[in-house]
Amino acid sequence: MASQKKNAFYAQSGGVTAVINASACGVIETARSHRDRIGKVYAGHNGILGALHEELIDTGKETAATIAALRHTPSGAFGSCRYKLKGLEQNRAEYERLIEVFRAHDIGYFFYNGGGDSADTCLKVSQLSAKLGYPITAIHIPKTVDNDLPFTDTCPGFGSVAKYVAISTREASLDVASMCQSSTKVFILEVMGRHAGWIAAAGGLAASAAGDPPHIILFPEVPFDRAAFLARVDATVKKEGYCVIVASEGTQTADGQFLADAGSVDAFGHKQLGGVAPTLAQMVKDELGYKYHWALADYLQRAARHIASATDVAQAYAVGRAAVEFALAGKNATMVTIERGQGAKYRWSIGEAPLAKVANVERKMPKSFISRDGFGITQACRDYLQPLIAGEDYPPYKNGIPQYARLKKVMAAKKLPPFTPVK
């Protein structure tokens, strides 16, 4: 390296969460405590796009109080993006542009905060050093409500969604229970989780005794069987008086057909889903005639910082801090992980995994986490999930509303001509 002290680039990628800013807070506060090694921390405006377009937010212009407030602020304070770098061979111009920007701003550390797709991007950036001769240290900071990254016990962002879904399921269930005698008998909550049922599983934490709602959970991992589903709904209504269902947006039939397919596709080529709940509701109405209600929480679930899991917040901060410490320790092409300790009492610590093994690998729910009938979670699943939603971490309020950080977002002066993306 030309000098010991380098600037850092931090960016948020993909769908945001209630706690990704807690990771940003961990990165920035830790970098600030190592001013001898790390100069400025630039945050990409709208993720990696900020690097390509040389839109670098100078986090040094934000006060310590503002940075601290990121810990309790949901969503991506610097802007996120859905943009996946192609391979070096397919789009060399993008990588050359990144190097140009990094060199112009003396950036030696690359911290990328995202899920599986961004792990892949982070890996590619880590290879710039070898392939294009630009020295950079790239560390991936895990984030995804989908909880589908491998090697880490959990993904920051998931615990808070899990808590939101568990609480919402419990609350809505009480509502249905009080209405079911003369009105609504079936309630369906549709939750996120495209290919993995982790979030739907969290709805199961609403139950604490046999017969407690939710009575049915629909996982992407379990092929949807219309007849079995309707039979279970009917039996539950007849026995309990009502039936509460938590359905993953990824619920699909044995031949891989999503139950409700909105038909559009996001920037990563993933199908955009939505509408499982109304589809199920119509099915219940048509076949069983029960009055229904349904809810689709969508962004509310992943933005619900007001009821974030304290465990999740602590872990999100810790992986941000660890990313900086890893970089300073000379690690590269590494993802920070969360490791669960042995024993009945929940303990966690920070670990690491090589990005080459992480990128584009999706972790599904273990079969042992889904009950034999396919409609619920097992004790093993409860044991796994329970600690992740533990503790409340309330944001400060003013006038009845949480006070979330507002950044100044001062951009570093541009030094380069505009970037024209190559198609």
Reported residue count of the chain is 423
Q: Which is nearer to a copy of itself, 221 or 249 (CB)?
A: 249
Least distance from a copy of itself to the Cβ atom of residue 407, Å: 11
Q: Which is nearer to a copy of itself, 206 or 335 (CB)?
A: 206
Q: Which is nearer to a copy of itself, 362 or 392 (CB)?
A: 392
Least distance from a copy of itself to the Cβ atom of residue 356, Å: 26
- CA 11 remoteness from chain centre: 14
Nearest to 160 by CA among 117, 192, 123: 192
Give dist(CA 20, CA 111) in Å, integer.
13
Least distance from a copy of itself to the Cβ atom of residue 363, Å: 22
**Which residues fall within 8 angstroms of residue 401, CB to CB, at 6 or more apart?**
none
Q: Which is nearer to a copy of itself, 60 or 402 (CB)?
A: 402
Q: Which is nearer to a copy of itself, 218 or 389 (CB)?
A: 389
Is 146 catalytic? The answer is yes
The tokens of 78 are what? 């610097």
Least distance from a copy of itself to the Cβ atom of residue 10, Å: 14
Distances (CA, A) of 396 to 161, 393, 407: 20, 10, 17
Buried-state track 275-295, b at ≥16 Cβ within 10 A, e below 16: ebbebbbebbeeebebebbbe
Distances (CA, A) of 276 to 104, 109, 158, 284, 328: 48, 42, 21, 12, 46
Least distance from a copy of itself to the Cβ atom of residue 70, Å: 12
Give dist(CA 24, CA 316) in Å, integer.
9
Give dist(CA 378, CA 371) in Å, integer.
5
**Sign of torsion over alpha carbons 328, 331, 332, 333:** negative
Which among 120, 146, 148, 393 is annotated as catalytic?
146
Q: Which is nearer to a copy of itself, 183 or 253 (CB)?
A: 183
Least distance from a copy of itself to the Cβ atom of residue 108, Å: 26
Q: Which residues are catalytic?
A: 146
